């Protein structure tokens, strides 16, 4: 199809044209279809749209002209008769700039998208008369600079998307006219710092997406007030080395800090963020976490710590997280887990533990028992492998028998038995040994019967510190 039909029925309200060879919209092309309320041109071969192409479409409510790789501009006055238009989509064309006053007649417009073009500059006050605009999307362009006048007049704007541009800074007053904003997306830009109070006017903001910038520091001082209504904060893929304060984010439920350069965190960094449900700290450089860092995060459902450098975790690290549903500790430097670490959780949950250099010795007993009891809750269980000792290397931990989890004993680990004496009284043998270690002691004594059977006696010293241990073994 190279041109639009001239005999369109007056019953038609929606007209959608996809993947055609139509190259031009002339002033007369749609003059016989004034009843249209929805007109979509998607992935066509449009090269030019006449300034009067939509002059007769006064009832139009939704208009899309997207996916035309040869369409480089629109003429002033193209939308002059579309006073009823509520949705205008101009995505993935080759627009380089906007003409001043291009949208002045669109008093009822609620959604404007111009993503995926090559716009590098915006004229002063480009959206001044769009008093009903709720959604503005200028993502995937080449914008380098935005000022306060860029968003003047957008008092009702609720969602602003400026993703994947070349914006390097935001002025401290650029959001002052946008008190109704609920979502702010500046993903994939070049922003290196945020001024204090820059989001001061955004008291209703729910979502702040700053993923993929080059921030090195983040603090809640950017909001400039005691508490915020923010629900989601996405800082993934920046260069963060420090979080100085998050205390005002008392409504936050989702915090994404993955793919940064965090090596340590203050113990009180999440103290007031008690509504938090999902915390993503993966792909950082964390080596140690303070014992109380997750204290009072009673609502947490997911904690993601994979791909860090954690070599140990404290036994009480997750003791408040009884409702946890997902815990990812994979791809760290953990050799074992402390006794009781995974016991607080009361509902079914999933755990990832693979990719650690697990040391399959006597210190693995707790984790080994827990794994056997909860194997269906561990994702990629077959990839959880022993790194040592050598004779168990590359073996799945779950395949190891408990009696294989042993620690080698050196002469420094046992008392000097040269001072031991034996005394026999009736059917009892008394072994007396002087020890100078303050540690529990377990002694195994084996007897071989006349028939060759081996009888083993195990005695454990309950005292933690004693200078003499006496063991009595009855002889049958």
Give the pLDDT confidence score for residue 228 in this predicted structure. 82
Tens-digit pLDDT profile for residues 359-382: 999 999 999 999 999 999 999 999
pLDDT one-digit tens code per residue, 17-47: 999 999 999 999 999 999 999 999 999 999 9
Strand-strand pairing, 350-352 and 326-328: parallel
pLDDT digits (tens, 9 = 90+) for 199-242: 999 999 999 999 999 999 999 999 986 668 999 999 999 999 99
pLDDT at residue 58 is higher than 90: yes
Containing 368, the helix (H) or strand (E) segment is helix 365-373
Tokens of 295: 């204290």
- Contact partners, residue 317, CB within 8 Å, separation at least 6: 289, 291, 293, 294, 341
Query: Positive or negative, the Cα torsion across 315, 316, 319, 321?
Result: negative
Hey, what domains does the chain have and what are their CATH numbers? 262-408 (3.80.10.10), 416-474 (no CATH)
- Residues near 19 by beta carbon (within 8 Å), at least 6 away in sequence: 42, 43, 44
pLDDT surpassing 90 at residue 454: no
Highest mean pLDDT of the ranges 223-232, 403-412, 430-439? 223-232
Pair 178, 155: CB distance under 8 Å = yes
Helix (H, G, I), strand (E, B) or coil at 388: strand
Task: Please name which of 121, 75, 114 lies closest in space to residue 94, comparing C-alpha atoms.
Answer: 114
Does residue 446 surpass a pLDDT of 90? no
- Compute the distance between CA of residue 133 and CA of residue 49 in angstroms, rounded to an integer: 24
The residue to which tokens 């508490």 are assigned: 227
| Position 61 pLDDT exceeds 90 | yes
CB 199 within 8 A of CB 171: no
Question: In which band, very low, low, confident or very high, does the pLDDT at 468 lie, cut at 50, 70 and 90?
Answer: very low
Q: What is the number of H-type helices and E-type strands within the chain?
A: 1, 27
Residue 316 backbone zone (phi > 0: left; psi -120 to 50: alpha; other: beta): alpha
Which 3 state secondary structure label does DSSP give 112? Answer: strand
Residue 53 has pLDDT above 70, yes or no: yes
pLDDT at residue 441, rounded to an integer:
60
Query: What is the pLDDT at residue 466?
Result: 47
| Range 6-15 average pLDDT | 90
Beta bridge partners of 385: 396
Q: How confident is the model at residue 476 (pLDDT cuts 50, 70, 90)?
A: very low
| Whether the predicted pLDDT of 475 surpasses 50 | no
Q: What are the structure tokens assigned to 249, written together?
A: 């984010």
Confidence of residue 467 (pLDDT cuts 50, 70, 90): very low
Whole-number pLDDT of residue 148 = 84
Task: Indicate whether 151 pLDDT > 80.
Answer: yes
Map residue 458 onto helix, strand or coil: strand
Decide if pLDDT at 390 tops 80: yes
What torsion do the CA atoms of 52, 58, 60, 61 make, to the nearest 10 degrees? 120
Q: Looking at residue 413, what is its pLDDT? A: 56
- Residue 40: other Cβ atoms inside 10 A: 16
Rounded average pLDDT over 308-332 = 95
Handedness of CA 352, 354, 360, 363 (dihedral sign): negative
CA distances from residue 475 to 170, 425, 432 in whole angstroms, order as listed: 85, 10, 16
pLDDT at 412: 60
pLDDT average, residue stretch 278-297: 96
Q: Buried (b) or exposed (e) across 434-454, using 16+ Cβ within 10 A? A: ebeeeeebebeeeeeeeeeee
**DSSP conformational letter for 270:** T
Query: What value does the mean pLDDT of the chain take?
Result: 89
Interatomic CA distance for residues 104 and 398, integer angstroms: 68
pLDDT at 452: 56
* C-beta of residue 249 within 8 angstroms of C-beta of residue 277: no
């Amino acid at each position: 199809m190279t041109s639009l039909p001239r005999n369109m029925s007056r019953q038609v309200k929606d007209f959608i044209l996809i993947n055609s060879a139509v190259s031009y919209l002339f002033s007369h092309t749609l003059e016989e279809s004034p009843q249209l309320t929805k007109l979509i041109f998607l992935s066509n071969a449009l090269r030019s749209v006449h300034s009067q192409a939509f002059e007769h479409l006064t009832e139009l409510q939704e208009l899309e002209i997207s996916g035309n790789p040869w369409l480089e501009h629109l003429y002033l006055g193209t939308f002059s008769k579309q006073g009823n238009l509520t949705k205008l989509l101009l995505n993935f064309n080759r627009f380089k700039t906007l003409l001043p006053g291009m949208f002045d007649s669109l008093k009822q417009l609620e959604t404007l998208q111009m993503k995926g073009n090559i716009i590098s500059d915006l004229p002063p006050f480009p959206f001044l008369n769009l008093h009903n605009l709720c959604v503005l999307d200028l993502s995937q362009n080449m914008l380098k600079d935005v000022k306060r006048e860029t968003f003047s007049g957008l008092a009702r704007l609720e969602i602003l998307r400026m993703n994947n541009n070349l914006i390097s800074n935001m002025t401290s007053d650029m959001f002052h006219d946008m008190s109704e904003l609920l979502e702010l997306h500046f993903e994939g830009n070049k922003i290196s710092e945020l001024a204090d109070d820059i989001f001061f006017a955004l008291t209703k903001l729910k979502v702040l997406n700053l993923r993929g910038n080059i921030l090195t520091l983040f603090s809640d001082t950017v909001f400039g007030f005691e508490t915020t209504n923010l629900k989601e904060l996405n800082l993934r893929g920046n260069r963060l080395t420090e979080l100085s304060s998050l205390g005002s984010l008392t409504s936050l439920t989702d915090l994404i800090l993955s793919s940064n350069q965090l090596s340590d965190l203050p113990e009180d960094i999440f103290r007031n963020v008690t509504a938090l449900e999902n915390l993503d700290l993966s792909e950082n450089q964390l080596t140690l976490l303070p014992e109380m860092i997750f204290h009072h995060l009673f609502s947490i459902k997911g904690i993601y710590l994979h791909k860090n450098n954690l070599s140990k975790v404290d036994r009480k690290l997750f003791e408040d997280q009884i409702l946890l549903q997902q815990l990812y500790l994979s791809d760290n430097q953990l050799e074992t887990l402390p006794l009781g670490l995974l016991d607080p959780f009361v509902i079914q949950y999933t755990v990832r533990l693979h990719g650690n250099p697990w040391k399959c010795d006597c210190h693995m007993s707790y984790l080994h028992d827990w794994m056997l009891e909860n194997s269906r809750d561990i994702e990629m269980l077959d990839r959880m492998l022993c790194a040592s000792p050598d004779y168990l290397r590359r073996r799945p931990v779950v395949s190891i028998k408990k009696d294989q989890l042993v620690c080698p004993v050196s002469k420094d680990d046992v008392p000097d038995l040269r001072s031991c004496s034996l005394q026999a009284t009736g059917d009892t043998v008394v072994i007396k040994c002087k020890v100078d270690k303050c540690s529990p002691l377990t002694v195994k004594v084996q007897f071989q019967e006349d028939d060759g059977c081996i009888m083993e006696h195990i005695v454990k010293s309950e005292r933690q510190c004693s200078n003499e241990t006496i063991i009595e073994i009855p002889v049958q």
